[in-house]
Chains A and B, each alone.
Chain A
Amino acid sequence: MYAFAGKILHVNLTKRRVWSESLKRSLAEKFLGARGINAALLWRLIGRSGIDPLGPENVLIFGAGALTGTVAPSSGRTTVTCKGPTTNLYLKSNMGGHWGAELKFAGYDHLVLYGVSKSPIYLWIQDGSVEIRDASHLWGLDVRETDRLVKEEVEEKDSKVACIGPAGENLVKFSAIMSSVYHAAARGGPGAVMGSKKVKAIAVRGTGEIQLWNPEAFRELALAVRIELAKDSGSKSLYDYGTSGSLGYINSLHALPNRNFRYGHLENVDPLTGQNLVEKGYLVRRVGCFSCTTSCHRFVEVKDGPYAGTYTGGPEYETFCALGAQTLVLDTEAVIKANELCNILGLDTISTGGVIAWAMESYERGVLTKDDTDGLNLTFGNAEALIETVKRIAYREGRLGSLLAEGVRAAAEAVGKESWKWAICNSKGLEQSNVETRSAKAYALAFAVNPRGPDHLHTETFAEFGASPEAVELIKRLTGDEKWAEPYYTEYRPEIVRWHEDCYAVTDSLGFCAFASTAAYAVNPKNMAEMFRLATGIPMDEEKIMLAGRRIVTVEKCFNVREGADRRHDDLPWRLMNEPAASGPAKGMMNSREELDSMLDRYYSLHGWEIRTSWPYKETLEMLELTDVADELRRVGRLPSRK
Chain B
Amino acid sequence: MEKPILLLDLDLCTGCRACMVACSLAKEKTSSLSLSRLRVLKNEPVCLAVPVICEQCAKAPCENACPVGAITRNPDTQALTVDREKCIGCKECVWACPFGAITVREGLAVKCDLCDGDPECSKVCTPGAIKFERLKPFDLERRMRSLERRVKALTTIL
Q: 1/0 per residue B13-32: CB within 8 Å of A?
A: 01111100110111011111
CB distance B16 to A291 under 8 Å? yes
- With a cutoff of 8 Å between Cβ atoms, the chain B residues found around residue A409 in the complex are none
Residue A629 CB within 8 A of the other chain: no
Residue B11 CB within 8 A of the other chain: yes
Given A71, A286, A294, which contacts B25 in the complex, CB threshold below 8 Å? A71
Residue B123 CB within 8 A of the other chain: yes
Give the complex CA separation of A209 and B20 in angstroms: 12
- With a cutoff of 8 Å between Cβ atoms, the chain A residues found around residue B33 in the complex are 101, 105, 206-207
- With a cutoff of 8 Å between Cβ atoms, the chain B residues found around residue A70 in the complex are 21, 25, 31
Q: Which residue of A lies closest to B17 (CB)?
A: A290
Give the complex CA separation of A181 and B47 in angstroms: 9
Q: 1/0 per residue A616-639: CB within 8 Å of B?
A: 000000000000000000000000
Size category, A interface = 35 or more
Residue A311 CB within 8 A of the other chain: yes
Residue B140 CB within 8 A of the other chain: no
Q: A71-B18, A287-B47, A291-B16 are in contact. Are A215 and B34 (CB under 8 A)?
A: no
Given B16, B21, B25, B29, which contacts A288 in the complex, CB threshold below 8 Å? B16
CB distance B21 to A291 under 8 Å? yes
Residue B147 CB within 8 A of the other chain: no
Give the complex CA separation of A126 and B124 in angstroms: 28
A-B contact count (CB 8 A): 108
Residue B68 CB within 8 A of the other chain: no
Residue A239 CB within 8 A of the other chain: yes
- With a cutoff of 8 Å between Cβ atoms, the chain B residues found around residue A53 in the complex are none
CB distance A293 to B126 under 8 Å? yes
CB distance B14 to A292 under 8 Å? yes
- With a cutoff of 8 Å between Cβ atoms, the chain A residues found around residue B46 in the complex are 284, 299, 311
| Nearest chain A CB to B137 CB, angstrom units | 28
Q: A71-B21, A180-B44, A313-B47 are in contact. Are A215 and B29 (CB under 8 A)?
A: yes
CB distance B14 to A286 under 8 Å? yes
Residue A49 CB within 8 A of the other chain: no
| Nearest chain A CB to B106 CB, angstrom units | 13
Q: A215-B29, A230-B126 are in contact. Are A181 and B16 (CB under 8 A)?
A: no
- With a cutoff of 8 Å between Cβ atoms, the chain B residues found around residue A73 in the complex are 18
Which B residues, 104 to 138, have Cβ-Cβ distances below 8 Å to chain A?
123-124, 126-127
Residue B101 CB within 8 A of the other chain: no
Give the complex CA separation of A535 and B28 in angstroms: 15
| Nearest chain B CB to A390 CB, angstrom units | 19
CB distance A223 to B123 under 8 Å? yes
CB distance B32 to A239 under 8 Å? no
| Nearest chain A CB to B122 CB, angstrom units | 12
Which A residues, 443 to 497, have Cβ-Cβ distances below 8 Å to chain B?
none
CB distance B34 to A207 under 8 Å? yes
| Nearest chain B CB to A206 CB, angstrom units | 8
Q: 1/0 per residue A235-274: CB within 8 Å of B?
A: 0000100000000000000000000000000000000000
- With a cutoff of 8 Å between Cβ atoms, the chain B residues found around residue A39 in the complex are none
| Nearest chain B CB to A126 CB, angstrom units | 12
CB distance B31 to A210 under 8 Å? yes
Which A residues, 291 to 306, have Cβ-Cβ distances below 8 Å to chain B?
291-295, 297, 299
| Nearest chain B CB to A317 CB, angstrom units | 19
Residues of chain B at interface, number, CB under 8 A: 31
CB distance B15 to A209 under 8 Å? no
- With a cutoff of 8 Å between Cβ atoms, the chain B residues found around residue A98 in the complex are 17
- With a cutoff of 8 Å between Cβ atoms, the chain B residues found around residue A294 in the complex are 126
Residue A345 CB within 8 A of the other chain: no
Q: B-side binding surface: helix, strand, loop or mixed?
A: mixed
Give the complex CA separation of A82 and B10 in angstroms: 39
| Nearest chain A CB to B114 CB, angstrom units | 18
Residue A208 CB within 8 A of the other chain: yes
| Nearest chain B CB to A345 CB, angstrom units | 15
Residue A216 CB within 8 A of the other chain: yes
Given B30, B41, B44, B127, which contacts A209 in the complex, CB threshold below 8 Å? B30
Give the complex CA separation of A457 and B158 in angstroms: 38
Residue A431 CB within 8 A of the other chain: no
CB distance B44 to A295 under 8 Å? no
Residue B35 CB within 8 A of the other chain: yes
CB distance B124 to A288 under 8 Å? no
CB distance A292 to B29 under 8 Å? no
Q: Which residue of A lies closest to B32 (CB)?
A: A209
CB distance A209 to B47 under 8 Å? no
CB distance A285 to B21 under 8 Å? no
CB distance B44 to A216 under 8 Å? no
Give the complex CA separation of A83 and B4 in angstroms: 55
Give the complex CA separation of A522 and B113 in angstroms: 32
Give the complex CA separation of A137 and B98 in angstroms: 38
Give the complex CA separation of A284 and B14 in angstroms: 11
Q: Which residue of A lies closest to B26 (CB)?
A: A219
| Nearest chain A CB to B91 CB, angstrom units | 18
Given A181, A218, A295, A311, which contacts B14 in the complex, CB threshold below 8 Å? A295
CB distance A293 to B31 under 8 Å? no
CB distance A144 to B45 under 8 Å? yes
Give the complex CA separation of A205 and B31 in angstroms: 15
Residue A69 CB within 8 A of the other chain: yes
Give the complex CA separation of A299 and B18 in angstroms: 19
Residue A348 CB within 8 A of the other chain: no
Residue A182 CB within 8 A of the other chain: yes
- With a cutoff of 8 Å between Cβ atoms, the chain A residues found around residue B123 in the complex are 223
- With a cutoff of 8 Å between Cβ atoms, the chain A residues found around residue B11 in the complex are 285
Q: 1/0 per residue A300-321: CB within 8 Å of B?
A: 0000000000010100000000
Residue A516 CB within 8 A of the other chain: no
Give the complex CA separation of A226 and B44 in angstroms: 25
- With a cutoff of 8 Å between Cβ atoms, the chain B residues found around residue A182 in the complex are 47
- With a cutoff of 8 Å between Cβ atoms, the chain A residues found around residue B29 in the complex are 212, 215-216
Give the complex CA separation of A230 and B47 in angstroms: 22
Given contacts A209-B32, A288-B15, A295-B127, 10 further A-B contacts (CB under 8 A): A71-B22, A71-B124, A105-B34, A181-B45, A209-B34, A210-B32, A211-B30, A212-B30, A284-B47, A287-B47
- Please give the residue numbers on chain A whose beta carbons come within 8 Å of chain B beta carbons, in ascending order: 69-71, 73, 76, 98, 101, 105, 144, 147-148, 157-158, 180-182, 206-212, 215-216, 218-219, 223, 226, 230, 239, 284-295, 297, 299, 311, 313
User: Which 3 A/B pairs are nearest by Cβ-Cβ distance?
Assistant: A288-B16, A288-B14, A209-B32
25 contacts between A and B (CB under 8 A): A71-B25, A71-B31, A76-B16, A98-B17, A105-B34, A147-B44, A181-B45, A206-B33, A209-B31, A209-B32, A209-B34, A209-B35, A210-B32, A212-B25, A215-B30, A219-B25, A230-B126, A239-B127, A286-B14, A287-B14, A291-B16, A291-B17, A293-B16, A293-B18, A299-B47
